[in-house]
């Protein structure tokens, strides 16, 4: 059923020779017999090949900064970019203080031709003044779109001045869309800014409890982190800050006090996790709260890290209780999902993180990939020293941090660290490739043409990606699940989320709609009529084409 090298080759034959050579490096046929397998990633998008990638601005404002609810986010640029990032990610947040909640707003300086010619600094400064006067937000983030960098507006200076003028934190982010090769550049720019200007700004010195953690690289799509926080609180953890789903300036400024950083999305946050370790002595743990087994494993690993008998006991209690609730429900979905196949092409971490829950449901991931990940997300962190710096990743300013004189506390000794690393993925991530089955496909920056070609050849039972490509799958008669914004559903994390996910996926398989795709007058006479008829009767309404 799987593809062979020559099949991939013939699919790519449509491309001009140069493009074909390029794309081949981004496509990998998994062979578990090999110790390591290489893939090209985080490289330039090929012009004219319809990719799903966005720009640095999308990664910075759209993904990382956008969810911070007590910031007013001012997009400095023409209207389009701001409009397109207005409430499109479905990152949820609780309204604690209605006066400090701005997620449903979209602010733009709406640059006009004259601003492009004469510069937009004044307009931006004026806008900040108005925003402070009208909204008194806890903080303001200014994000730049393409033209801003080109006309040379110094938004950093405007922000500094405004901060002085108003005494409100104002941060500027030079995340013009042409920087880097994808959203990933923007994540970096945003996170660097938060590291520099927000974390550590609070005056908390000690965590409220020993079991204080931050959740990094978690964006609370459809309420994901609420489900996780529910479980964590129940066990006895305190979540200091989430970076950034449902997060805020108010909580993030005290993130330095946590005793452990949990990393959900390795791609968007691993460098910050590293920096937090260097600056405050807090190690990070790669967790994955998607799927029952992954959630349980993550909770147990956390308990191992803290090494507290009571906490361990409570962890097991909560796991047992949650399991008794969800297992019976999951079973009915498993029956339907068993033996199905999926494509899982998402972002920079979900392409991997969702494979576990699919496996639990009996669904095999036969193609996976990322839109904007780097090689370490595929091959594991061991590859990092070998990744070449090129012209494209150079232009993102690197932030270097030093141990904080006052606040650095080594949370675990080097010996303890080594001991823990034997047992749990502390400051470690092994990437997607090792977990994939032989002859499955790994595709980086899957594009429109390849999406269609691979669906046609591999005929997955479900296609998981985003809104731009899901309709291609639908047109080909394949159900889809948006794993960026969940088609208005979710949460999918943790125990309750797993049930919701199973339900949604199953819905895709059993919808009676699929039975009508072939009009009755087109039905060819069935040669093996009896067998087929019997099958159909057995499963009643819930049949799906075979």
Contacting other proteins within 444-463 (CB under 8 A): 448-449, 452
Among 177, 217, 247, 348, binds other proteins (CB under 8 A): 177
d(CA 52, CA 371): 7
Q: Which stretch binds ligand SF4 (CB under 6 A): 51-59, 297-305, 392-400, 536-544?
A: 51-59
Contact between 120 and ligand SF4 by CB under 6 A: the answer reads no
> Of other proteins, ligand SF4, none, which one does residue 136 interact with (CB within 5 to 8 Å by kind)?
none
Least separation in angstroms between residue 57's CB and other proteins is 6
On the CB side of 538, CA atoms within 13 Å amount to 7
Q: How many CB atoms lie within 10 A of CB 168?
A: 17
Q: Which of 377, 60, 279, 348 is nearest to 188 (CA)?
A: 60
Which of the ranges 52-60, 315-323, 427-435, 496-504 carries the binding residues for ligand SF4, by CB under 6 A?
52-60
The answer to whether residues 269 and 216 touch, using CB atoms and an 8 Å cutoff, is yes
Burial 411-433 (b: 16+ CB within 10 A, else e): bbeeeeeeebeeebbbbebebbb
- What element of type H or E holds 144? strand 139-144
Cα dihedral sign for 406, 417, 219, 491?
A: negative
Residue 79 in the binding site for other proteins (CB under 8 A): yes
By CB atoms closer than 10 A (0-12, 13-18, 19+), residue 439 is middle
Q: In the chain, helix, strand, coil percent, each to 5?
A: 50, 10, 40
Active site residue 55: yes
183 versus 261: smaller Cβ distance to other proteins? 183
Instruction: Give yes or no for residue 334 binding other proteins (CB under 8 A).
Output: no
427 is catalytic: no
In angstroms, rounded to a whole number, what is the distance separating the alpha carbons of residues 200 and 197? Answer: 8
Which of residues 49 and 304 has its CB atom nearest to ligand SF4 in the complex? Answer: 49
For other proteins, the closer CB: 339 or 519:
519
Out of 10, 25, 31, 80, point to the residue binding ligand SF4 (CB under 6 A).
Answer: 80
Residue 273 in contact with residue 356, Cβ under 8 Å? no
> Residue 472 binds which entry of ligand SF4, other proteins, none, with Cβ cut-offs from 5 to 8 Å by kind?
other proteins
Cis peptide before 437 (omega within 30 of 0): no
| Of 79 and 458, CB closest to other proteins | 79
Binders of other proteins among residues 458 to 497 (CB under 8 A) are 466-469, 471-472, 475-477
Residue 30 phi, psi dihedral angles, 5° rounding? -70, 130
89, 485 Cβ separation under 8 angstroms: yes
Name which position in 52, 145, 184, 214 contacts ligand SF4 (CB under 6 A): 145
Tell whether residue 78 is a contact of ligand SF4 (CB under 6 A). yes
Query: Are the C-beta atoms of residues 52 and 449 closer than 8 Å to each other?
Result: no
The binder of ligand SF4 chosen from 28, 81, 269, 296 (CB under 6 A): 81
Return the closest-CA partner of residue 515 out of 480, 546, 545: 545
State the pairing for strand pair 107-108/480-482.
unpaired
Using CB under 8 A as the binding rule, the residues of this chain from 97 to 116 that contact other proteins are 104-113, 115-116
d(CA 351, CA 372): 11
468, interface contact from other proteins, ligand SF4, none, CB < 5-8 Å by kind:
other proteins
Q: Which is nearer to other proteins, 105 or 509 (CB)?
A: 105
CB of 442 to ligand SF4, least distance (A): 27
Is 212 annotated in the active site?
no
Residue 485 is given by DSSP the state T
Catalytic residue status for 359: no
Give the span between the Cα atoms of 308 and 525, in whole angstroms.
67
Given the DSSP bridges, would you call strands 71-76 and 139-144 parallel, antiparallel or unpaired? parallel
The residue from 30, 89, 90, 256 that is catalytic is 89
Q: Choosing from 43, 56, 58, 185, which is the catalytic residue? A: 58
Give the end-to-end CA distance of the chain in Å, rounded to a whole number.
15
**Segment interacting with ligand SF4 (CB under 6 A) among 75-83, 124-132, 284-292, 296-304:** 75-83
Within 2-61, which residues bind other proteins (CB under 8 A)?
Answer: 14-16, 19, 44-58
Out of 41, 43, 55, 373, pick the active-site residue.
55
By CB under 8 A, is residue 180 in contact with other proteins? Answer: yes
Residues 378-397, one symbol each (x = binds other proteins by CB under 8 A, - = not), give: -------------xx--x--
Identified binder of ligand SF4 from the candidate list 62, 177, 246, 291, rule CB under 6 A? 177
CB distance 249 to 101 below 8 Å? no
Size of the residue set binding other proteins (CB under 8 A): 75
Tell me whether residue 186 or residue 479 sits nearer to ligand SF4 (CB atom).
186
Give the residue, chosen from 146, 239, 273, 432, that forms a contact with ligand SF4 under the rule CB under 6 A. Answer: 146
Shortest approach of ligand SF4 to residue 75 CB, angstroms?
Answer: 9
Smallest CA-to-CA distance from 214 within 319, 287, 267 is with 287
Binding site for ligand SF4 (CB under 6 A): 55, 57-58, 78-81, 145-146, 176-177
Active site amino acids: 55, 58, 89, 187
């Amino acid at each position: 059923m799987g593809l062979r090298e020559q099949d991939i080759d013939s699919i790519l034959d449509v491309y001009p020779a140069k493009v074909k050579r390029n794309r081949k490096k981004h496509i990998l046929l998994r062979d578990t017999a090999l110790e390591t397998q290489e893939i090209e990633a985080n490289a330039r998008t090929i012009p004219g090949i319809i990719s799903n990638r966005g720009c640095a601005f999308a990664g910075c404002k759209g993904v990382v900064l956008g969810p911070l609810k007590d910031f007013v986010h001012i997009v400095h640029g023409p209207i389009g970019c701001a409009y397109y990032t207005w409430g499109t990610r479905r990152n949820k947040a609780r309204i604690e203080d209605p006066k400090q909640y701005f997620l449903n707003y979209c602010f733009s300086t709406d640059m006009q031709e004259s601003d492009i010619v004469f510069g937009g600094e004044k307009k931006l400064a004026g806008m900040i003044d108005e925003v402070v006067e009208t909204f008194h937000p806890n903080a303001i983030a200014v994000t730049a779109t393409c033209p801003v960098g080109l006309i040379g507006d110094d938004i950093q200076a405007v922000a500094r001045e405004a901060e002085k003028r108003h005494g409100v934190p104002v941060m500027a982010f030079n995340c013009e869309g042409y920087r880097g090769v994808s959203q990933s550049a923007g994540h970096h720019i945003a996170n660097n800014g938060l590291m520099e200007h927000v974390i550590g700004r609070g005056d908390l010195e000690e965590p409220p409890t020993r079991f204080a953690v931050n959740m990094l690289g978690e964006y609370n799509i459809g309420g994901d982190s609420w489900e996780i926080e529910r479980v964590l609180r129940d066990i006895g953890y305190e979540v200091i800050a989430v970076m950034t789903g449902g997060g805020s300036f108010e909580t993030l400024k005290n993130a330095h006090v946590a005793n452990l950083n949990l990393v959900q999305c390795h791609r968007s946050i691993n460098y910050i996790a590293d920096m937090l370790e260097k600056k405050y002595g807090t190690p990070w743990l790669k967790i994955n709260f998607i799927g029952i087994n992954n959630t349980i494993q993550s909770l147990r690993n956390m308990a191992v890290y803290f090494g507290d008998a009571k906490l361990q006991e409570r962890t097991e209690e909560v796991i047992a209780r949650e399991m008794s609730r969800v297992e019976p429900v999951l079973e009915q979905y498993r029956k339907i999902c068993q033996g199905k196949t999926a494509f899982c092409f998402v972002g920079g971490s979900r392409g991997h993180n969702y494979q576990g829950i699919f496996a639990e449901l009996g669904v095999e991931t036969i193609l996976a990939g990322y839109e904007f990940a780097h090689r370490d997300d595929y091959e594991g962190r061991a590859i990092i020293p070998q990744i070449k710096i090129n012209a494209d990743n150079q232009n993102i300013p690197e932030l270097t941090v030093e141990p904080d004189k006052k606040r650095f506390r080594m949370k675990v000794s080097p010996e303890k660290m080594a001991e823990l690393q034997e047992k749990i993925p502390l400051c470690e991530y092994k990437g997607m490739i090792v977990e994939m089955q032989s002859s499955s496909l790994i595709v980086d920056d899957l594009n429109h043409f390849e999406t269609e070609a691979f669906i046609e050849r591999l005929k997955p039972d479900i296609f998981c990606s985003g809104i731009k490509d899901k309709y291609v799958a639908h047109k080909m008669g394949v159900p889809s699940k948006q794993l960026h914004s969940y088609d208005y559903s979710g949460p999918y994390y943790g125990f309750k989320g797993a049930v919701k996910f199973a339900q949604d996926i199953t819905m895709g398989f059993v919808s009676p709609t699929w039975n009508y795709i072939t009009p009755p007058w087109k039905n060819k006479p069935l040669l093996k009529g009896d067998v087929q008829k019997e099958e159909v009767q057995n499963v009643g309404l819930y049949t799906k084409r075979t």
